[in-house]
A and B are shown apart, each in its own frame.
Chain A
Amino acid sequence: MRSIKKYGRQTIIYAIYLLLLTIVQFTLSGWLIPVALMPDLALVFVIICGSFYGGDEGMIIGLIAGFLRDMLSGRVLGLGMLLLMFAGLAASGLFIKWFRRNSFVVILQIITISFFYELFIIGLTYLFPMLPDQIYSLKQLFDLHLRDSALQIGLNTAAAIPLMFLLHYLGPYPRGQKRTGMEEDDNGDNVWRTI
């Protein structure tokens, strides 16, 4: 009974976040932010979840958020799921060997994962052009990457701050309560402590 209550709370809160972020990202974005670039809210959310609540949760949230992304704006089904799953997993362990978990580390993770996410997309575009006779040079694609990714990373970082506060105060776990069953990593510090 207790576990139903516990998982029920998590499920409902994650579902609300995912629904709202998806609606804001894909349906209301043109209305709210009338510019070409906007923060990648799903990616930011998945990274924060991975960092706050561990790899398993980051992976599952990444898969769900990725499915929604593939369904709503993906050329193919599965790519968003794959990318966001790895983003969630990466966030659970990136920089944890060297730093204690805090908001600075999450920001650092968002910058790093966003950069490599954009880089991966560029690699895919190079390897799998949609028109068979369309050949890109890697230099051309990297130039594009450098031009756009700085702004995109900045926007993602800016979006992370309110999301971190929201998850801290209105997250899937009551404040100050350590998640039961959360695996301890080598440092024994796999718990969100400060913001």
Chain B
Amino acid sequence: MRKVVRTRIFTVVLISLILLALILLSSFPGSPLNHLTTPVSAVFKPVQSAFRTAADNVTGFWQSLTDGIKIRDENKSLLQENAQLRNQVAQLEAAGRNYEELKDALALKDQFDRYEIAGARVMTRELGTWFDVYKIDMGTADGLDVSDTLSYAVVDSQSRLIGRVLSADLTTAKILPMLHEGFSVSARVNEVNGAIMRMRGDIELKNSGLCMIDQIPASADIRIGDQLVTSGLGGLFPEGIVIGEIIEITDDNSGRRTAVVKPQTDYDNLSVVFVMKGRQP
């Protein structure tokens, strides 16, 4: 009996030590240990996709039933709007041609010209603190190469910031969302000479879907309702990605200001995200 207990204690201690080593080694960005999940990801990915697709189909079918009447009414107004838009498109096509000519002439670059934007499907959602990253169906096989100096910005279909790639195995990658307390980004108020400040996730605000700005320069002119975009400083995120809107500014007695930001992306309904592959020019 005593021998059985001793063997069990030895096993538990040994496994614990191995796991502690695993935790330490896998916490380094770009750690090869993250590839340990590749075989299981390869099995789980199609199963999860199938379940997700089935769930989406059921939701879609139900919504199509309930939205039928609403769609009929919308269709009428959309037909009218469509006619107006066709007219506008024709005008914009002409304007677009002019823009391309000018762009070539002045050697201008599109904002995200150097980035390849690749779509990925969100496979899992978070589960509380320390288990709070999203998993997407894109990995090193798709060109994601995460290291301690290299990561990728992740945006939604409207090019609004969601987070960054934390780690990747062969077929999947983990996304650190902007709400997460380990996330920080250099942000700028979206106006000419807008103030630059640091925005980060906050452990108290994240359940409300909000972020925090905690390094506001004393001279910075910020107001509630200001829109924030990425500043491009730091080299990870390209300049100009929409982050969110300032909804609250607090001034403590020492003159230190903090602000609360509501991200513009809708985290509750994320199903597809876009990874900006490439490097800052």
| Residues of A bordering B, CB below 8 Å | 19, 22-23, 25-31, 34, 36, 38, 40, 55-56, 59, 63, 67-82, 85, 89, 121-122, 124-125, 129-131, 134, 136, 140-141, 144, 148, 152, 183
Assess whether B127 is in contact with A148, with CB atoms less than 8 Å apart.
Answer: no
Question: Which of B21-29, B143-151, B152-160 sits within the interface?
Answer: B21-29
If A27-B124, A28-B55, A144-B204 touch, does A85 touch B130 (CB 8 Å cutoff)?
Answer: no
Question: Which of B8-16, B68-76, B221-229, B237-245 sits within the interface?
Answer: B8-16
Assembly CA distance A192 to B16 (angstroms): 28
- Indicate if B253 sits at the interface (CB-CB under 8 A): no
The B21-52 residues at the A interface (CB cut-off 8 A) are 21-23, 26-27, 33-34, 36-37, 40-41, 44, 47-48, 51-52
Assembly CA distance A40 to B126 (angstroms): 11
| Across-interface contacts of A55 in B (CB, < 8 A) | 8
- Indicate if B265 sits at the interface (CB-CB under 8 A): no
| Residues of B bordering A, CB below 8 Å | 4, 8, 12, 15-16, 19-23, 26-27, 33-34, 36-37, 40-41, 44, 47-48, 51-52, 55, 59, 123-135, 166, 174, 176, 180-182, 184, 200, 203-204, 207, 268-269
Interface centre among B131, B207, B268 (most CB of A within 10 A): B131
Offer 18 A-B interface pairs, CB within 8 angstroms, sorted by A.
A25-B127, A26-B123, A26-B125, A27-B125, A56-B8, A59-B15, A71-B44, A74-B130, A75-B133, A75-B166, A78-B19, A79-B19, A81-B19, A85-B16, A130-B181, A140-B204, A148-B207, A152-B128
If A77-B26, A80-B131 touch, does A130 touch B182 (CB 8 Å cutoff)?
Answer: yes
Assembly CA distance A65 to B119 (angstroms): 29
Which of A23, A30, A67, A74 makes the CB contact (< 8 A) with B268?
Answer: A30
Assess whether B127 is in contact with A40, with CB atoms less than 8 Å apart.
Answer: yes
Assess whether A183 is in contact with B4, with CB atoms less than 8 Å apart.
Answer: yes
Interface centre among A22, A23, A77, A152 (most CB of B within 10 A): A77
Assembly CA distance A68 to B125 (angstroms): 13
| Minimum CB–CB distance for A159 against chain B, Å | 13
If A27-B52, A31-B59 touch, does A77 touch B131 (CB 8 Å cutoff)?
Answer: no
| Minimum CB–CB distance for A15 against chain B, Å | 11
| Across-interface contacts of A77 in B (CB, < 8 A) | 22-23, 26, 33-34, 36-37
Q: Which residue of B lies closest to A41 (CB)?
A: B127
If A27-B123, A71-B40, A125-B129 touch, does A131 touch B52 (CB 8 Å cutoff)?
Answer: no
Assembly CA distance A75 to B34 (angstroms): 10
Which of B41, B131, B182 makes the CB contact (< 8 A) with A74?
Answer: B131
Assess whether A75 is in contact with B182, with CB atoms less than 8 Å apart.
Answer: yes
| Across-interface contacts of A72 in B (CB, < 8 A) | 44, 123-124, 135
| Across-interface contacts of B23 in A (CB, < 8 A) | 76-79, 82
Assess whether A71 is in contact with B181, with CB atoms less than 8 Å apart.
Answer: no
Assess whether B26 is in contact with A76, with CB atoms less than 8 Å apart.
Answer: yes
| Minimum CB–CB distance for A188 against chain B, Å | 12
| Minimum CB–CB distance for B181 against chain A, Å | 6
